Amino acid sequence: MFIVEFSNIPFSAIGSIKNYFQIILYEGSNHILVNYLDVTSRGSGNTTAGIENLNGTTGLQYSRMDTPGRYTNRYVRYVPPSENGTRALYFPHVDSGGNTWETEIGVINKSEQELNGIFKAYNDNGESVSSNIAVTLPPKGRREITIGNEFMNPGDIGYIIFESDSESLAGYTKFYQEGVYRAAIPAVKVVNASDIYISHIDSIAYWWTGISLVNTTSAAKELTITFNDGRSVAYTLNANEHKAFTIDSLFNDQPQPDIKSAVITNASGIIGLEIFGSAGSDNQLDGLLLTDNTASTIYYPHVASDALWWTGIVAYNPSDSACTITITPYSAQGTPLLVSTLPLA
């Protein structure tokens, strides 16, 4: 990792407003991260943010700076195209072909042009298995696949990659047990370039947490999973390998009620997801991607709390410094309600 930091940069000739930002190059993946630590914009036509060449003739702009104001703790990640010109969408875990779990995946063409792509299935060792599925999506088109219905030997599949000729795509993975529960998680579009944060872990008698990881690189990765209680586990992923495990399986299959979160270090090139499931008859399942992203503001777009539904939210502080978070709820009409503040170590 190579970091260039700019501090106390005058915003204008007056010099009363200072800007602070970083440019980070992740060696290996060649991702470029521009961190806007504390910068000011006068709006479209007056302020440009992004990266460009020396002559200013070629570059990429960060469009959110079109609105005047002060921006803190924002970042933009620039990802180089693959060498063969294709764009990849990853589905980092597949469970199909047995008598319990099934997996559904889907891709959406976000553009106004036709999109071509191929679904390629791989086993846990990263070897190609089953047959490829080629698709052509019309503008705004969608393709949904139930793994057990359309792939040969679905039980051999560990993960799937969708290779496309377009960047304008999005996707999801849905895991389910028919008639019991199901959960959908976005597909992976950006490979992690630094440490991965596991923001929530529940490993008790009536909840389990499962982790799935894929090494997208051509070399073995020696990972360290460090938990919030100070314990750590070394974990190896060979080139292109996929592994899935529950948290309690790392500790002799015993529940770990003291573990609430974790950080995976040396994780450049690793992608993954986690799933939370209830044991017994509660029939609750959910999940999320495992990423290297952090944010200063988190949006929870839907909250339900009534006689039938409850909503739990999680905020995780991965830094070494304590902070205070402010939770501002809103009514359905957008009216701010009672604000709460909580310390977060």
Q: Tokens standing for 185?
A: 């998680």
Task: Give the residue from 214, 238, 211 showing the smallest Cα distance to 91.
Answer: 214
Is 77 a residue whose pLDDT tops 80? no
Q: What pLDDT was estimated at residue 64?
A: 66
**Is pLDDT larger for residue 65 or for residue 38?**
38
Q: Are 158 and 215 in contact (CB under 8 A)?
A: no
Residues 173 and 187: beta-carbon distance below 8 Å: yes
Give the mean model confidence (pLDDT) for residues 147-158: 95
Query: What does residue 328 show for φ and ψ, rounded to 5 degrees?
Result: -115, 105
Tens-place pLDDT, residues 294-335: 888 889 999 998 999 889 889 999 888 888 999 999 999 999
Cα atoms in the Cβ-side hemisphere of radius 13 Å centred on 32 = 11
Map out the domains of the chain with their CATH numbers: 2-78 (no CATH), 87-186 (2.60.290.11), 196-297 (2.60.290), 304-345 (no CATH)
Please name every residue paired with 173 in a beta bridge, in sequence order, or none if there are none.
105, 185
Q: Are 48 and 58 contacting, i.e. CB atoms less than 8 angstroms apart? A: no
* Strands 270-278, 207-215: pairing kind: antiparallel
Secondary structure percentages of the chain, helix, strand, coil, to 5? 5, 45, 50
Tokens of 149: 């219905």
Please name the residues in contact with 130: beta carbons below 8 A apart, sequence gap of 6 or more.
121, 151, 152, 153, 154, 156, 157
What does the pLDDT read at residue 80? 67
Query: What is the C-alpha end-to-end distance of the chain, expressed in Å?
Result: 27
Q: Which of 133, 119, 60, 66 is nearest to 91 (CA)?
A: 119
